[in-house]
């Protein structure tokens, strides 16, 4: 899965914004062509559909999270493709989002408007920089309280928790261990069940 800045030459004919000038309104005009698009700091990024390992890890974690959230009436779990509009009108599509019950008002018919309580990104070799640098900083700045990076190739789950405006690593969990959420009490998962061999 390659997140890359793209040239407007790759898009259908139309007058598109230049680098650094993309807005949410421009984003909404993009074609439904099977690619995932995001705008970060005015730059347009795209990627093709994720691979099977990515999809399995995403499905397994979303199911585990949804089971706990539904059983305890804790809120809502959403997965990509689903637009998340962060402060400043920045649209991204996290792999998985959790929004607590008391904050469900940020969910509209079109998108989630504001920082979710927890975001998960499934990392691939090609998206590593995008997820670990661009989106890490974006989610930190937006005030997302907890950020999970699931790396199927390394068979790890890293959990970052926001404190005083910065993420700190709560833990790196590997094969044979349980990843434990700091934000969502009672939510933990076995890494081996989330990232199948």
Closest of 49, 84, 62 to residue 150, by C-alpha: 62
Torsions phi, psi for 127 (to 5 deg): -100, 0
Q: In degrees, to the nearest 5, what angle opens at C-alpha 187 toward C-alphas 76 and 1?
A: 70
The pair of structure tokens assigned to 126 is 């090609």
How many domains are contained in the chain?
A: 2
- Domain hosting 17: range is 4-47
More confident: 21 or 73: 73
pTM of the shown model: 0.83
On whether both 70 and 130 belong to a single domain, the answer is yes
Which pLDDT does position 176 carry in this prediction? 95
CA–CA gap between residue 49 and residue 115 (Å, rounded): 24
Q: For 106-139, how does the pLDDT look when each residue is reduced to its tens digit (9 = 90+)?
A: 999 999 999 999 999 999 877 777 788 888 999 9
pLDDT, mean over the chain: 87
On whether both 170 and 142 belong to a single domain, the answer is yes
On whether both 93 and 172 belong to a single domain, the answer is yes
């Amino acid at each position: 899965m390659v997140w890359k800045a793209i040239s407007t030459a790759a898009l259908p004919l139309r007058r598109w914004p230049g680098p650094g000038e993309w807005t949410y309104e421009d984003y909404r005009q993009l074609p439904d062509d099977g690619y995932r698009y995001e705008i970060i700091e005015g730059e347009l990024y795209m990627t093709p559909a994720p691979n099977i390992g990515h999809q399995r890890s995403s499905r397994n974690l979303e199911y585990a999270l949804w089971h706990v959230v539904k059983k305890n009436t804790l809120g809502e779990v959403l997965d990509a493709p689903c637009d998340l509009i962060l402060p400043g009108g920045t649209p991204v599509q996290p792999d998985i989002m959790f929004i607590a019950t008391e904050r469900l008002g940020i969910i509209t018919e079109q998108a989630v408007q504001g920082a979710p309580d927890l975001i998960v990104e499934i990392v691939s070799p090609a998206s590593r920089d995008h997820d670990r640098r661009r989106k890490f900083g974006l989610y930190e700045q937006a005030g997302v309280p907890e950020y999970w990076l699931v790396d199927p190739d390394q068979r790890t789950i890293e959990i970052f928790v926001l404190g005083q405006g910065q993420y700190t690593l709560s833990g790196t969990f590997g094969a044979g261990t349980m990843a434990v959420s700091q934000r969502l009490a009672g939510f933990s998962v076995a890494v081996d069940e989330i990232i199948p061999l």
